[in-house]
Structure 1
Amino acid sequence: MSTDVLNFSAGPAMLPHSVIERLRDTLDEWDGKSASVIEISHRDKSFIEVVERAEASLKRILGMDDEWQVLFLGGGATGQFAGVPLNLLQPGRSAGYIDTGQWGGKAIQEARKFGDIVVTASAKDDGYAKLPDLALVDIDPNWAYLHFCANETVDGTQYGTIAQTAHSVPLVADCSSELLTRVMPLDRFAAFYGGAQKNVGPAGVTIVCVRKELLGSPQAICPAVWDWTQQGANDSALNTPPVYAILASGFVFEWVEEHGGVPAAAARAAEKSTLLYETIDRIPLYSNDRATRSKTNIVFRLTTEELEKQFLKEAEANGMIGLKGHRAVGGCRASVYLAMPMEGVQTLVAFMEDFAQRNG
């Protein structure tokens, strides 16, 4: 993306400029071959090394040991709404789900096609403005797992901490819009997954991290491409994987390592979101009613829809795109993912202050 444009879209989102430059260099020739990286076979040794390097880098920055299997798949996080029950929910068992919002709800709808799903808690009664406390939700110790969305992109909510639940039921989470911006408490998770197009890379690849001890018992109806055991045994290449998106993701993992790792990325996420929320709370023209606020997807309203339309139009004219809220909730939304620099947030805040002075 041009350095003159700030992309606040919920996804696909910005990539670090240095990563884009590295990707540009791969388009003419890759690894000494007379072919682009997008032209070589996924069976080629040089691409197998790309996958191995990406996996090793991700494991390092998240602190995962060899008990974890990392998969690079297609289908998006939405595909894993089916992949989770197909791999972890055996016939005759139940799984618990928390209705956290738009994406948590979609995960529930999809999972019900493949087994007995119990919705143990919901944010609906609070207008999806406050997430149910993980430490307080009712849990059946016999569940195969408990699923939730850690950060709701549409609703702008997020679990500030992943609390210890009442029983040792495996936790499974959709982490699409917070991956690499939170230090993951791995001891509390059995699996987590996310689409890359927010914090990690371009659209096309989905990252699945699962404890190896949970592999090996997919449902009989599980398609081979969704079978985590088969994909793991084939190094995520049972079928042709999203080659270029995996390469880009690997470059982002290395960029994270070079910039202080996930702890530093989490600190930057907190700093960026804090500045935005302080601005929203300070200026009467803006409002945010979320009790459990997201650090990556900051939703806000203006006092009238007419002003929101004017705000969005002027913001785009000033080089800030993707600020329109999701069609399901309206308003505005600033997604400040991994690659959004603090300077970009400061530019948005300065515009918000100026807009308020002229229209407050």
Structure 2
Amino acid sequence: MKRAYNFNAGPSALPLEVLQQAQEELLNYNETGMSVMELSHRSNEFENVHNEAQSLLKQLLNIPDTYEVLFLQGGASLQFSMIPMNFLNDEQIGNYVLTGVWSEKALKEAKILGRSTAIAASSKETNYDRIPDLSELNLTPDDGYLHITSSNTIFGTQWREFPRVKGDLLIADMSSDILSKPLPIENFAMLYAGAQKNLGPSGVTVVIIRKDLLATVPSHQIPTVLRYDTHSKNNSLYNTPPTFSIYMLNKVLQWVKDRGGVAEIAKTNELKAALIYDVIDESNGFYKGHAVKNSRSLMNITFNLQSEDLSKKFLSEAKEAGFVGLNGHRSVGGCRASTYNAVPYEACKALQQFMLNFKQENQ
């Protein structure tokens, strides 16, 4: 079976072993005579899948007992609204670091709700080619939280060091890099991530939230299904969850565990990204990285060629060679290789060789 070299930004590559196991179990999960998609979300069989996924995530990220793991719907984009809705009162400010499109959208949703907001720092003036230095952050005593986007899919930047905030009221959208490296969970009030990059297929959003934060949710004015405490009290089963997505999340988490956990995955991610960044750095300007070196993402590698015509030729020939998803976002143009956990080292090695050959033939 021929598999594409899948560098899509999301939905993205899934581990082949996980897909094969899901295929084997698709019609008869755990001798139930039903697909996991047909199981009641109230059944013991699905409850075991659900709880095991929570447990695996806690193990892999060393999540303390002081945090809840929730499985929600609506993608990371719904969290943009739920966060200020649940955690900002009239006296507090939602403070945002702008590092790309998704952080802009998060700020926009807080403003739509009429909440007080501020911009702690921004790299918009240089087309989001860097992460602001920690010394640039403008924090205030009235901040209800500081919101960041840990890795920026479109622009190819990533936080290397996280800010420390009073009360550890740091909230991070980690859709692009969760589970790609160990995390100092205790530094965060909340982490959230759409699953469709490193965790599984689209449909489920993982929220890791400190329990004491749940106690601050106002008792009125927030619709029931948009309250984090609703989902906490009901083990994320207040309404019908995305059962198949949670099942696949469980399988991916087990795959990470079988490979030595997040620390081992992180080592492989470093090696994968280095294959491509080394070609860019040693190309004498034939390939031009968008992100400055100390802000480069290990998950989303963005680069341009010397002209738009050359970029089009590169992408056309790459597609013919079996590479998928290398088109850059319109905000940056050029090319983007998303090297998430499930993208094999061999795919990155093949892309490295293709880039070297293309340069030799076109310089």
Query: Structure 1-normalised TM-score?
Result: 0.96
Q: CA deviation at 1:67?
A: 0.8
Of 335, 340, 345, the match for 1:337: 340
Range with bigger deviation, 93-102 or 218-227 = 218-227
1:94 and 1:282, CA in 2 relative to 1: closer, same or farther beyond 3 A?
same
After superposition, the C-alpha distances for 1:262-286 in whole angstroms (9 at most, x for unaligned) are 1111111111112211101111321
Q: CA deviation at 1:239?
A: 1.0
Q: CA deviation at 1:3?
A: 4.7
- Measure, in 2, the Cα distance between the counterparts of 1:326 and 1:221: 38
Q: Summarize the alignment of residues 1-360 of structure 1 with structure 2, pairs less than 5 Å apart.
A: 3-114=2-113, 115-165=115-165, 167-219=166-218, 220-283=220-283, 284-291=285-292, 292-360=295-363
Unaligned segments of structure 2, at least 5 residues: none
After superposition, the C-alpha distances for 1:64-120 in whole angstroms (9 at most, x for unaligned) are 121110111111111111111122212332121111111111111011123111112
After superposition, the C-alpha distances for 1:246-272 in whole angstroms (9 at most, x for unaligned) are 010111111111111111111111111
- Measure, in 2, the Cα distance between the counterparts of 1:41 and 1:336: 35
- Measure, in 2, the Cα distance between the counterparts of 1:315 and 1:110: 38
Counterpart AA for 1:262: V
**Secondary structure class of the residue paired with 2:46:** helix
- Measure, in 1, the Cα distance between the counterparts of 2:54 and 2:277: 35
1:117 and 1:169, CA in 2 relative to 1: closer, same or farther beyond 3 A?
farther
Aligned identity (percent) is 39
- Measure, in 1, the Cα distance between the counterparts of 2:16 and 2:225: 33
Determine if contact 2:94/2:110 at 8 Å carries over to the other structure: no
**Secondary structure class of the residue paired with 1:95:** strand
1:140 and 1:169, CA in 2 relative to 1: closer, same or farther beyond 3 A?
farther
Unaligned segments of structure 1, at least 5 residues: none
After superposition, the C-alpha distances for 1:141-187 in whole angstroms (9 at most, x for unaligned) are 3311100101110011111122434x345100000000101211112
Range with bigger deviation, 96-105 or 156-165 = 156-165
1:279 and 1:171, CA in 2 relative to 1: closer, same or farther beyond 3 A?
same
Counterpart AA for 2:138: D
- Measure, in 1, the Cα distance between the counterparts of 2:217 and 2:122: 28
Q: CA deviation at 1:135?
A: 4.7
Determine if contact 1:90/1:217 at 8 Å carries over to the other structure: no
1:169 and 1:180, CA in 2 relative to 1: closer, same or farther beyond 3 A?
closer
**Secondary structure class of the residue paired with 1:172:** strand
**Secondary structure class of the residue paired with 1:46:** helix
After superposition, the C-alpha distances for 1:224-252 in whole angstroms (9 at most, x for unaligned) are 22211111111111111111000101111
Number of paired residues?
358
